[in-house]
Amino acid sequence: MIIENETILIVDYGSQYTQLIARKIREQNVYCLVHPYNKIGSKILKNKNLSGIILSGGPNSVKDKKSPKLDKKILGLKIPILGICYGLQLLCKEFNGKIGQSSSREYGHSLINCINQSQLFKGVKKNSQVWMSHGDHIEKAPNGFVVTSFSNKNIISSIQNKKKMIYGLQFHPEVYHSLDGNKILSNFLSKICKISSYFKLDDFLSNKIYDYKKKLNNKKVICGVSGGVDSTVTSFLLHKAIKNNLYCIFVDHGLLRFKESNEVVTIFKKKFGKNFKRVDASNIFLSKLKKIKDPEKKRKIIGKTFIEIFEKEAKKIKNVQYLAQGTLYPDIIESIPFFGGPTAKIKSHHNVGGLPKKMNLKIVEPLKELFKDEVRILGKKLKISSDLLNRHPFPGPGLAIRIPGEIDRKKIDILKRVDNHFINYLKKRNIYKKIWQAFAILLPVKSVGVMGDERTYSYSIAIRAVTSVDGMTADFYMFSKEDLTEISKQIISNVKEVNRVLYDFTSKPPGTIEWE
């Protein structure tokens, strides 16, 4: 029953595009895993399904003594290797080619001119546009390697050693601006790695259900649900496998969007009946957050209170052995400390990560191999409504981090109504789907206005709308003047407590998406 997929290993040297490589490979229905260059265990290298390896780009120069090195065991596997940017330079160094350092980076669009036949470039246009981002470049290809293309700045942009099955690209095929990038990756997978068994979400789903039926037979599992995509798909998938042995708990902190809490209850009651419980904890959360202004304190209080309440509720269900979590593959990749160095903590994320240790439960994470877009497709297969699946991301601490300063019930109520008018407008105008995340922020500022002949002194609202791929970086969305005018009108005419609307046109970085 279990189908083992042919796998591509992506070795991460710290490029901002590594996850993008993985997504592009998955888009071609090929299974892949990402491992930091210094954490490749022998287990993965011994995997008999390993069909190819991609060495990612990275911020270092191979000429620096301390720069990340190539794990020689990789070369010993005798399977196809594709080096991208830093990955190419590592291969070049390994085989005694010559690397040059330029004073300026080659960054942005470039055209490549293919001068020798390569399976990698089958079906690729003669002067194809690619995306470059590098300081170092190859001055002389290693012995045994052939140069297959040059860039229009006359820089070697690809090399290969067909016999050794080693290929290298100076540009980034995974980036959208490399117009034939998908074709090049697809050629690597099908023509060079000769992948023949494709990763299908239908198989994934039936395998998971089959596995959990066996593994969790007669065992009780609890799952915290929030109405978000990940926890909903997790619970629906597990329900297929273990039916009434799954118990879902919804800790309602009272900080969800307009009418969202009721929607969650309706969906889950219908699916899980008596095995679903909503715990109305808004009073507890609000009293603990009273007079708290500091964003980090707010986040910590919410995270801790959530765990306390969930734990208390879970204990009421006897003989539970497992806790289900909606962990996704990017969460796994990001939780591995890269280069062993500490990364600056920007915000304490609210999740249920602290629960299993505290409660002594085993964890089940049915989605831990998947990316968000795959989870949405799986959700569709599980017949979850597309409204829920395509909802913009929403942070665990909810509206509390969209009200800078102290929060109270009145402010939450104003923000819910403002946000609802804003989002409804985006949906009505078909802009919602073009935006990665949009929401309103209630500012702790009142200002003077005039409505009719009356003076007003009311709240100011900021609206935020960003485009992004994964939330790690983001660009503010460019509304037309007509849209901005209409959004402001809708909010002010419908929510009497507000008389001023501001637009947040900050990208990430330097801003973050949420205000706190």
**In the beta sheet, which residues pair with residue 130?**
110
Residues 223-262 binding ligand XMP (CB under 6 A) are: none
DSSP 333-349: HHHSPGGGPPPPP----
Site for ligand XMP contains 471 (CB under 6 A)? yes
DSSP 163-176: TTTEEEESS-TTST
Half-sphere exposure (CA, 13 Å, Cβ side) for 359? 29
- The residue (of 26 and 350) whose beta carbon lies closer to ligand XMP is 350
Alpha helices by DSSP H, listed for 364-408, are 372-381, 386-389
Binding track, positions 336-365, relative to ligand XMP; x by CB under 6 A: -----------x-xxx--------------
- Tell me if residue 85 is catalytic: yes
- The residue (of 172 and 299) whose beta carbon lies closer to ligand XMP is 299
Q: Which helix (H) or strand (E) holds 106?
A: strand 98-114
Burial of 342 (0-12, 13-18, 19+ CB in 10 A): exposed
Site for ligand XMP contains 305 (CB under 6 A)? no
- With beta carbons less than 8 A apart as the criterion, state whether 464 and 441 touch: yes
Site for ligand XMP contains 19 (CB under 6 A)? no
Question: Smallest gap, in angstroms, from Cβ of residue 303 to ligand XMP?
Answer: 8
- Tell me if residue 172 is catalytic: yes
Choose, from 134, 137, 172, 239, the residue flagged as catalytic. Answer: 172
- The residue (of 204 and 515) whose beta carbon lies closer to ligand XMP is 515
Question: Smallest gap, in angstroms, from Cβ of residue 284 to ligand XMP?
Answer: 19
The CA angle 189-338-199, to the nearest 5 degrees, is 25
Question: Smallest gap, in angstroms, from Cβ of residue 351 to ligand XMP?
Answer: 6
How far CA 302 is from CA of 251, 252, 282, 306, 433, in Å, comes to 11, 11, 11, 6, 30
- The residue (of 189 and 513) whose beta carbon lies closer to ligand XMP is 513
- The residue (of 203 and 334) whose beta carbon lies closer to ligand XMP is 334
Cβ within 8 Å of residue 373, ≥6 positions away: 23
Residues 490-509 binding ligand XMP (CB under 6 A) are: 508
- The residue (of 255 and 378) whose beta carbon lies closer to ligand XMP is 255
Calculate the CA dihedral of residues 214, 217, 221, 226 and round it to 10 degrees: 50
Question: Smallest gap, in angstroms, from Cβ of residue 91 to ligand XMP?
Answer: 35
| The one among 437, 458, 488, 499 contacting ligand XMP by CB under 6 A | 437
Residues 365-424 binding ligand XMP (CB under 6 A) are: 393, 395-397
Choose, from 85, 92, 114, 248, the residue flagged as catalytic. Answer: 85
Question: Smallest gap, in angstroms, from Cβ of residue 441 to ligand XMP?
Answer: 11
d(C-alpha 335, C-alpha 399), whole Å = 26
Burial of 8 (0-12, 13-18, 19+ CB in 10 A): buried
Footprint on this chain of ligand XMP (rule: CB under 6 A): 347, 349-351, 393, 395-397, 437, 471, 508, 512-514
Active-site annotation, residues: 85, 172, 174
